[in-house]
Copies of this chain bind each other. A is one copy, B any other.
Amino acid sequence: MEFSHETRDKTLRTLQQKQWELLIIGGGVTGAGLALHAAARGIDVALVEMQDFAAGASSRSSKLVHGGLRYLKQFDVKLVADVARERNVIGRNAPHIAQPDYMLMPVYDEEGASFDTFSAEVALHLYDYLAEVDETWAHYMVEHDRVLEEEPALNSEQLKAGGFYLDYTNDDARLTIETIKKAHEMGAAIVNYVKAEAFHYSEDGQINGISGQNTLNGESFEIRADVVVNATGPWSDETRKQGKRETEKKMFPTKGVHFVVDHDKLPVKRTIYTDTGQQDNRMFFIIPRGDKTYFGTTDTPFEGTYEEPSITREDVDYLLKAVNHRFPSANLKLKDIESSWAGLRPLIQDEDNSDPSGISRGHEVFTEEDGLITIAGGKLTDYRRMAEDTFEVIDQAFETYGKTFKEVDTKIIPLSGGDVPDPSAFADFVSEQAKQGIKIGLSEADAAFLADWYGSNVTDLFNLSEEAKTYDLPLKEALQLAYSLKYEMVLAPADFFNRRTGMLFFNIRQIEKLKQPVLDILSERLGWDSQTRDNWEGELNARMQEAALSDLKKETSALK
């Protein structure tokens, strides 16, 4: 179903004309989940996102659907069970996004190790038990030699054993956009690049709408709604402060940093989850993806600007030290980092917990006196359940309007692209679909890549081949651009290169070749004047330099 700059223009008009039942502020994965849940229940729902969909925390995670093995150390079993069980739900509803795979946790006999061989096996047993993993994917432990056979690049010193266990690889931004598209398909009115500037109130002081600004042209307009939900992740406190009253600080975001290198430089066969080895009680992931490997962690306390949390020299030194400790032959240096991202995990301070380390990994829904409902905290994987919990509060608000809506079970609603006959045989589906791609001139690899990336939507994409072939781009990327313009509301270069295709992170060097033709096509399709084109080109260049850590690399060269 079309979801483009043209449908956006129409939606912008509708937004101002109606009294909405529900308005969601924030188009990350949390807002997306809420919008889908609302639309499925037949609620008149609108969603505004100030940047692009998933541009905040939801495109900056470790890109895994995981249950949080390490939270078992705090016996946070409910969270782990809930989240681990959600992995299956996402895998079923979006097999093109989340794929089950064995991950490896090596066990080292070193100071400060999170797990020893015994506790690792217990933790993996408990993880499987909580996630209701069946025998097909049951964990297993192997000894030192077997770990090195499987992952020869791992440090062999003090290596004792390894645990193989099920988790899911994922793409956070794709998960968000496919949820948004499904919500749109089910009737939600959704726009990106509209910022909530101010709240409006009824005579009795209850929030009943917002002033939204279309940040692409500066125009402001009013959106009226019975209930307003704040799903702005790390910005939750800032959004709440737009209300009338003093608000207590709830958010304690932590920064996560990830670096991308060539797979040959860090040749791992599967996701590895391990201590940093720095006796700091932190673990990190090393994840292969296509021709690249990325690695990173998510738990540095953070103070600073939320829009573009930056990567510091300390971040680089810390993560390179950790990765080189685990993979001594990799000997990675700053210059090897091709791309990177930093993101904020929107953690909340747990009210029930006086322990200073009691930052909750769970989520919380709270209602201000002015009626604003905030959903904060939580984990990417858990976004569907977060929507369920938020609706328990939203439904109470609806009751004051005498409104009730049918119940739905969102567990059984496939996301956009997830309409495949047998999600557990997704590889077969990909092979089958790829044949269509080959017919329109794609290589087998490219056709399979696209079928894997877009799932059941790949037919719509292949059907755009006539349009795509008019672009001065390789066919694969031309199809992606044509599809994302028509079906994924691309309005800016980074929407396409980052949130729709992941190229900014996983193929940054190719962007140099693609960017002029892409800018040309966007200019034409979106009606940019030359000033606008220059601005967007500057913006893209800034994002690329940032991702490539250009400033840090220059400083380092200057020092030599």
Q: Which residues of A contact B (CB under 8 A)?
A: 72-75, 77-78, 81, 111, 116, 118-119, 122-123, 125-126, 129-130, 352
Contacts and interface: CB of A to CB of B under 8 A. Distances in A.
B122 A126 contact: yes
Contacts of A75: 72-75, 119, 123
14 contacts: A72-B75, A73-B74, A73-B75, A74-B75, A75-B75, A75-B119, A77-B118, A77-B119, A77-B122, A77-B123, A81-B118, A81-B122, A111-B352, A125-B129
A116 B78 contact: yes
Query: Which secondary structure dominates where chain A touches chain B?
Result: helix
Contacts of A352: 111
Contact of A118 (B78, B122, B126, B129): B78
A73 B74 CA distance: 6
B78 A119 contact: yes
Given A75-B75, A75-B119, A78-B118, 15 more contacts: A72-B75, A73-B74, A73-B75, A74-B75, A77-B118, A77-B119, A77-B122, A77-B123, A78-B116, A78-B119, A81-B122, A122-B126, A122-B130, A125-B129, A126-B126
A111 B353 CA distance: 11
A111 B352 CA distance: 8
Contacts of A123: 75, 77
Contacts of A119: 75, 77-78
Nearest to A119: B77
Nearest to A80: B122
A73 B355 CA distance: 15
A352 B118 CA distance: 18
Nearest to A74: B75
A125 B122 CA distance: 12
Contacts of A129: 122, 125
A112 to B, nearest CB: 8
Contacts of A130: 122
Nearest to A112: B352
Contacts of A118: 77-78, 81
A495 to B, nearest CB: 41
